[in-house]
Amino acid sequence: MLIVSACLLGIDCRYDASSRLNPLLREKAQREGYIPVCPEQLGGLPTPRQAVFIQGGNGFDVLDGKCKVCDQGGNDLTAQLIRGAFETLKIVKLLGIKTAILKERSPSCGVQFTTSLQQLIQGPGVTAALFLREGIEVISDESCK
């Protein structure tokens, strides 16, 4: 059983109420029973919403209180992204899941990269960083094509 970013399975949960459907993952999810999650929604953010960016670091830095997450309007959404990461971790622990496939470049789910005001930043998003700290394997959707 795997956790997968819900947008990759065709669920319209991204900030702009769209998805990033990955047909291969969707087919595998139907056969293998993947669990779709959207940490940003689990953290209480609505859909649609303004785009969100990590400012001054990556997901590890957010978890360590060294930087924050804001939307395009400058609203601080750090607490919501951290809450969403921990709520997603509860699902992982409840079901004994060891692997997650997450959406690259997302402020929550980015595995190797996230974005900061249209700039690519090296390092994971908030949820991916928490999973890595907890020993959960994280796989970028970009390796699932």
Per residue in 98-117, pLDDT (tens digit) is 999 999 999 999 999 998 77
Q: Is 15 left (phi over 0), alpha (psi -120 to 50) or beta?
A: alpha
Q: What is the pTM of this model?
A: 0.96
Mean pLDDT of 34-43: 97
Confidence of residue 144 (pLDDT cuts 50, 70, 90): confident
* Whole-number pLDDT of residue 115: 82
Domain assignments of the chain as residue spans, ordered by start: 3-143
Per residue in 47-70, pLDDT (tens digit) is 999 999 999 999 999 999 999 999
